[in-house]
Amino acid sequence: MESPVHPGDITPMPKSLWAATTARPEPYPLLQGRVDADVCIVGGGIMGLSTALALAERGTSVALLEAAEIGWGASGRNNGLVAPGLKRDPWQVRRMLGAERGARLLQFSGAAPDRVFELIDQHGIDCDADRRGWIQAAHSKRALKLVGRRFAEWEQLGVDASMLDSTIIAEELGSDFYKGGCLYGGGGSINPLAYTHGLAQAAATAGALLHEQSPAVRIERQDDLWIVVSPYGAVVARHLLFCTNAYNESIERLQGTVIPLRTAQVATRPLPQQIVTQILPGAASASDTQRLLTSFRLTADRRLIMGGASATAGDAHPDLVRRLHAAASERFAGIEPASWEFGWSGYLALTRDHLPYVSRIDKNCMAPVGCNGRGIAMSTAMGRTLADLVGGMPDEESDIPVGAPRRIVGFGLRRVGVAVGVVGNRLLDRMGRLL
């Protein structure tokens, strides 16, 4: 698995649309010497930064270590969709967690996008924020029934949502590929790397100490303190948070708690206006209901971005990119092979039950785990929860389940398992449309 940890070396930002078009702020310094803080956060993505911001605003001293550049991982490589809810349906969440705990997680996840756009407004983050909704598009008649049931449940929970029939969704998306869908008004899209940079600036302004190119190469426990050692310095803190999610393989107590799933994104060159008016004329972002989910949206500079469509547990991504090009051709006319300019990939974290939770690793040591493809909204909203837990909130009062690390049975066979699952799901998706 790719790793940002190359002690003593500078790890560059992976190539992507976002890296190529987003201004790089002044780098944050390497960690040098000893730094004392109330909390040490390992991981400079959205989750680590939103937590650092929430803590610093409360007057808690924070030192954050990022092994590469801020936003190096999924935070700087995702498709930029800000979607409410969870991977699981409300009825499944209640069955898995119980009525009361399930309801709290559902309310939390349904409102999670609000926190994203609240922080964007509060801190003036320039990230092409667009809150014209997020559409879940049904790829088959059977899937449309499931979307309708999902809509009814979320509507009862107070989430802004409305059903779209086949005619309306074709008008909204500029494609007759789908049978209908649901528009969730609270969703939207952003430039995720610019948003991550904005969170970093807000956290630093609030007093958090941010350090790039500073991997945590050794963790020690001394009495009631955690010592996080980097190549040129160390942080000594009472609390330690691992906000590494899919990139936690080097942390022994977290190994095997999530499946790192590699997915890809592709982006066109800026499209002519006559094509833009035909593709996604409703301007909402969208994801579909296929087992191998495909997402799509337009950027502020008129590029079509496609995500998903296939996955792997390995590092290679050429086949993932090819399948996204094919998915675009199926859905949208006018997208020629020469239209594509960028293709990149990265990892997201899947938990065994597809629900997020906070793992208590040791005394005063936690790791939030598994956004399961809903990373921007969930990671942002989790920041305040983690700050509350550090501040002494009882675990049972957390809207996010808190407990011991949960290892995935058969984790060592994940590459084979994901490969088999991808082939099977691709077949089921095709059969679903035919039937």
- Summarised one tens digit per residue, pLDDT across range 22-77 is 998 999 999 999 999 999 999 999 999 999 999 999 999 999 999 999 999 999 99
Per-residue confidence band for 299, with pLDDT thresholds at 50, 70 and 90: very high
- Summarised one tens digit per residue, pLDDT across range 92-112 is 999 999 999 999 999 999 999
Average pLDDT, the chain: 90
Q: Which among 299, 302, 79 has a CA at the least distance from the CA of 192? A: 79
pTM for the whole structure? 0.94
The 10 Å Cβ neighbour count of residue 409 is 8
CA distances, 415 to each of 2, 77, 259, 316, 420 (Å): 14, 22, 9, 12, 9
CA distance 369 to 216: 18
- Contact predicate 66/95, CB 8 Å: no
* Overall average pLDDT of the 384-408 stretch: 94
Beta strands in 176-224 (DSSP E): 180-184, 188-189, 209-211, 218-222
- Contact predicate 293/147, CB 8 Å: no
What pLDDT, on a 0 to 100 scale, did the predictor assign at position 431? 74
CA distance 168 to 320: 30
What pLDDT, on a 0 to 100 scale, did the predictor assign at position 292? 81
CA distance 257 to 249: 9
The 10 Å Cβ neighbour count of residue 341 is 13
Residue identified by tokens 């407990």 is 403
Q: Which among 320, 270, 297 has a CA at the least distance from the CA of 83? A: 297
Q: Work out the angle at residue 94's Cα, subtended by the Cα atoms of residues 385 and 353, and round it to the nearest 5 degrees.
A: 75
Per-residue confidence band for 5, with pLDDT thresholds at 50, 70 and 90: low
- Contact predicate 180/164, CB 8 Å: yes
Tell me: pLDDT of 163 over 90. Answer: yes
Q: Which residue has the higher pLDDT, 363 or 246?
A: 363
* Overall average pLDDT of the 334-362 stretch: 90
Per-residue confidence band for 165, with pLDDT thresholds at 50, 70 and 90: very high
CA distance 52 to 50: 5
Per-residue confidence band for 283, with pLDDT thresholds at 50, 70 and 90: low
What pLDDT, on a 0 to 100 scale, did the predictor assign at position 224? 94
Per-residue confidence band for 374, with pLDDT thresholds at 50, 70 and 90: confident
Tell me: pLDDT of 124 over 80. Answer: yes
The DSSP element (H or E) to which 266 belongs, if any, is strand 259-268
The CATH architecture assigned to 129-188+259-350 reads: 2-Layer Sandwich (3.30)
Enter the tokens of residue 380. Answer: 């942002």
- Summarised one tens digit per residue, pLDDT across range 227-254 is 999 999 999 999 999 999 888 877 877 8
What pLDDT, on a 0 to 100 scale, did the predictor assign at position 39? 98
What pLDDT, on a 0 to 100 scale, did the predictor assign at position 412? 77
Domain range summary for the chain, segments of one domain joined by +: 129-188+259-350
- Summarised one tens digit per residue, pLDDT across range 174-226 is 999 999 999 999 999 999 999 999 999 999 999 999 999 999 999 999 999 99
What pLDDT, on a 0 to 100 scale, did the predictor assign at position 254? 83
What pLDDT, on a 0 to 100 scale, did the predictor assign at position 416? 73
What is the chain's percent helix, strand, coil content, to nearest 5?
35, 25, 40
